[in-house]
Amino acid sequence: MVEGELGLCVGDGEGCQVMVGEFTERGKCETGDCNGLLKCQGYGAPPNTLAEYPLKQYMDMDFIDMSNIDGLNESMEFSSVSSGCNRVIKCTTDIIGQCPNELKVSGGCNKPCPVFKTEEHCCNFGNCGPTTYS
């Protein structure tokens, strides 16, 4: 995003346990964990489904999208309350139930890179083709 423009990326933790102490609230999530913080200050740990909405972008428009680039742990739906936008985007199928056994973790589905740790699955240097998990 361009400096001065607003945006937000939200991920959701699953299987979270919260510990409330005298001075802190901390927790641990099976998926989407934020180093024990209840209010993430970055992206949560994969696998996590991300909701992204950059605001005031090209021609002063707002954009919304969902991403499974870091694996997935939630179904999600986006809709607008603006009279100028009546689109709804959603991913509500049981994706975790369709996750290959090799990628399943408690509460989510990993992407292949952190599981296999190979260039074929991580594609860090470009010129990569599809895999059986694409």
Query: 104-125: per-residue pLDDT in tens?
Result: 988 888 999 889 999 998 888 8
Comparing 13-22, 80-89, 105-114, 115-124, the range with the smallest average pLDDT is 13-22
Token pair of 116, please?
């296999």
Cβ atoms < 10 Å from Cβ of 73: 28
Numbers of helices and strands, H then E, in the chain: 2, 9
Residue 127 to residue 124: CA distance in whole angstroms: 9
Query: CA nearest 55: which of 67, 64, 43, 68?
Result: 64
The arithmetic mean of pLDDT across residues 119-133, rounded, is: 86
Top-tier CATH class for 7-95: mainly beta
Beta carbons of 14 and 108 less than 8 angstroms apart: yes
User: What are the residue ranges spanned by the domains of the chain?
Assistant: 7-95
Global pTM value: 0.68
